[in-house]
Structure 1
Amino acid sequence: MSDTVTFLQNGYNGEVLEDLLTYTAQGNDTFREGLIHIKSGIQYKYTLPAIKLGDIIQDNNPVPTSALGAKGPQGENEYQLTARHLIPQDFMVYLEFNPRDYEKYWKFAQPEGNLVFRELDPKIQAVMLRLLIEKKNEYIGNAIWTSCKGGDAVSGIAVPGGATPIGGGKEKYFDGFIKRVTDNANATDAETIAGGQVIISGNTELTTGQETEDAMYTMWKKCPKQIRKKTELVFLCSWDVWDMYDQYVSNKTVKYAENGDLNRYRFKGKKVIPLVGVPEHTIILGQFSNSMDSNFWMGIDYANDTEVLKIDRLQSNSELFFFQMRMKMDVNIVRPAEIVVHTAYKKAP
C-alpha cells in the first residue's frame, strides 16, 4: 500500500468515491507473529508464579534424618517458588472529528433531509475505525518493547546515539521489555530478580553484519542448555539488525541464497524474526509464543479490552463525533534466567 494518498476524481470532487485509501499503518508484529501470551480478566494484579525443585538425590539410608533432608544454599531438597506480577495500567484512545469535513469524499453517504438528523454512515465508520485500530495496534506494538512507566525522564537507561528512546512520547504507562530486562539485569532485590536474571551476552552497538553474526553466536553459546531444543525458542531483532545480517550473508563466498533472494530467517536452526517495535542494536533469544509456555506475557483487564470502542456524538447539540477506547495493560517476563539479550541499551551511570 502506498504511503502517499492521492485522490483522482476526474473533476467530480469525490462524487463517485466509495473507498478511502489510508496511509500505511504499522500494525503490531508482536501480536501477528504470536510472540506474547495474553492474560485477560486482570482488574488489579496477577501473579506469575514459577516453581523450581533443587537437588533431591542423597545417599541411601534406612531412616533418613533431618540432616539428610536439610535445605542447602542451592535450593537442595526444597521447592523454590518465585513470583513476578502483571499490574495493568490505565490509558485511553480518544479522537474527535466532524463527519462533514469528509462529505466531499463520500457523496453516496450524504443523506437527504435536515442536517441536524444526519448520522454517520456505517461504511464511513468502518473505514475510520480500521485506521484507528491500526494506529492503536502500532502504539501497543512499540510500547510492548520500549515503554517505561513514568516516561523517559525516569527510565534510567542510556540510549545509543540516534536510537529509539525508552519511555519516549506516550510510551509511559507501563514498563516494556527493555526496561524490564535492564532493571532485572542490574537488580539485587529479591522481587526484581525473581526467576533469575537475564543473561546479557553483549552491550555493544551493532553496525555491521559481521558484528550481528558474532553476537548471535555468543548468544547461542550462553543460551541455557535445557531450553535449546524448545520449539518456541526464537531470535528476535529489529529490521535494521536483520538487514545488516542479510546483506552480510548474501555477500559471503558461500552464500545461503542468491544475492537477489532473501536469506532464510534462521540461525542455528532457530527462527530469526525481525520485528517493528524491537529497538536498534538489540537481539533477543528466548521462548516466545502465544501459549502459556511463553516467557513473555501481557496482562489486560477484559478479554476484549483492546477492541471495545465507543462511537457517539460528542453531545446532543454538536455535529462532532468521538471514538473512545479505555484500556489497561502491562507486560512482564516470566523466567528471566531463560532469556539471552544483546543490547546497547544500558543502565545509566
Structure 2
Amino acid sequence: MADTFAQNGYNGEVLEDLLTYTAQGNDTYKEGLIHIKAGIQHKYTLPAIKLGDIIQDNVPTPTSNHGAKGANGENEYTLTERYLEPSDFMVYLEFNPRDYEKYWKFAQPDGNLVFRELDPKVQATMLRLLMDKKNEYIGNAIWTAAKGGAASAGVTAPADSIQIGRGKEKYFDGVVKRIIDNVNATDAETIAGGQCIVSGNTELTDGAAVEKALYAMWKKCPKQIRKKTSLAFVIGWDAWDAYDQYISDKQVKYSENTEVNRYRFKGKRIIPIVGIPEHTIVLGEFSTGMESNLWMGVDYANDAEVLKIDRLQSNSELFFFQMRMKMDINLVRPGEIVVHTAYKKTV
C-alpha cells in the first residue's frame, strides 16, 4: 500500500482530515452476495445431499429390494462434498508517524513522537485506508484469483482483459477459476455438486450482446431455482453500462435517458459490481445466508481481533500494521450456477 495522500489548499494551523483517494472496497460483500464462514484453521467441508426416486405404486405390501440401489436412485442418498481450505497471506505496512505530523498540527504531541500519543483521528484515517485497501484486494480476488498465480491458472483471458491470477491474487482460486475448472473436469471432487452451466462464451462487446447473453442464461437456468428470492445476475460495470444504454435507446423505452434503468431482468436482480472480470456474467443464488451458492472461509472473526499495531523495534521510530489472514472461496452447488464468460481453459 502506497502512502498516497492529497492536500487541499488550506494552509491554516489546523487541517482536520486528509483527503483520501476512494478505494473500491468489496462490492461482493457490500451487496450481500457471499456467505462468510469464520474460524476455519485448516479445512471445512461443504456437504450437499440428494435423494433418489422414492415413489412406487400403492400396494398392500411395498416392494422391497432390501436396500439395493435402483436405476433411478432408489434407496439412495447421494452425498457430495466440496471444501474450503483457506490459504495464508498477510497485510503489512511500515510507516513513520513523524512523516504525517505536519498534516495534523493540532495533534502534534509534546516530547517524543510515538503512535499512541497521536490524536485518535490520525489513527482512524490511517486504519481506514488500510482496511479499504485490504477490502479492495479481497473484492477482486474473490472473482479473479488463482492459486499459484497467472502462470499456473490455466485460463486464457479475452483480448485486453485482466488475467486470472494476476499480481498478488495467487493464494486461492477465485470464482472464474473455479468455474473454468469445474466445466472442464472429470474427477469426482471438482465436479461434486454438478457442473456449472455455460450459456455462452462470446465477448460482450455491446448492449445487444449483453441482452442476448441474459436471455440465454435465463433459458438455461434450472427451473427449480427460478423462484428463489436470492437468485441474481452478477455483472461488471462495463457490461451493465452498455446494456443500460442499449435499452434506453430502444424505441419503447424502459426509462428516460436521464434515469438509470431498473437493475432487473425477468424480475431478478442485476447486480453490477467491481471485481468481476470483463465479458463475464454469473447467475446463481447469492446471499449472506447459508443458502448462498458462494461461500468464503476465513480464520478470524473480525478485523479488530487480527490487526496488530506496534513499534518495529525498540530503537526505531517506525511503526507497522500487520494482519495475518487465511482465506478461500468455493461454490457450494455448481450445478445451479449459470455463466456466460469469454474466459476459457488454456489448451
TM-score (norm 1): 0.94
Partner of 1:8: 9
Give SS of 2:234's match. Answer: strand
Give SS of 1:106's match. Answer: helix
Q: Deviations over 1:186-216 (max 9, x none)?
A: 0000000000000000011000111100110
Check if 1:40 corresponds to 2:38.
yes
Partner of 2:344: 346
Cα pair 1:163 1:280 within 8 Å, conserved? yes
Cα pair 1:298 1:331 within 8 Å, conserved? yes
Partner of 1:81: 79
Q: Deviations over 1:56-91 (max 9, x none)?
A: 112344444554864234433311100000001111
The alpha-carbon deviation at position 179 of structure 1 amounts to 0.5
Q: Please identify runs of 4+ aligned residues in structure 1 that moved more than 6 A.
A: none
Q: How does 1:63-74 map to 2 (within 5 A)?
A: 63-67=61-65, 70-74=68-72
Cα pair 1:195 1:336 within 8 Å, conserved? yes
Task: Give ranges in structure 1 of 5+ residues lacking alignment.
Answer: none
Cα pair 1:163 1:279 within 8 Å, conserved? yes
Partner of 1:137: 135
Cα pair 2:6 2:18 within 8 Å, conserved? no
Partner of 1:196: 194
TM-score (norm 2): 0.95
Cα pair 2:179 2:196 within 8 Å, conserved? yes
Partner of 1:265: 263
The alpha-carbon deviation at position 260 of structure 1 amounts to 1.5
Question: CA separation in 1, counterparts of 2:255 and 2:299?
Answer: 46
The alpha-carbon deviation at position 265 of structure 1 amounts to 0.2
Check if 1:211 corresponds to 2:209.
yes
Give SS of 1:80's match. Answer: strand
Q: Deviations over 1:283-308 (max 9, x none)?
A: 11100000000000000112225863
Aligned identity (percent) is 75
Question: AA paired with 1:218?
Answer: A
Question: CA separation in 1, counterparts of 2:249 and 2:300?
Answer: 49
Q: How does 1:214-293 map to 2 (within 5 A)?
A: 214-293=212-291
Q: 1:344 to 1:108 in 2, by over 3 A?
A: same
Q: 1:69 to 1:118 in 2, by over 3 A?
A: closer
Q: Deviations over 1:223-274 (max 9, x none)?
A: 0000000000000000011001000000000010011210000000000000
The alpha-carbon deviation at position 337 of structure 1 amounts to 0.4
What is the count of residue pairs matched by the alignment? 344
Out of 179, 203, 210, the residue aligned to residue 177 of structure 2 is: 179
Partner of 1:315: 313
Task: Give ranges in structure 2 of 5+ residues lacking alignment.
Answer: none
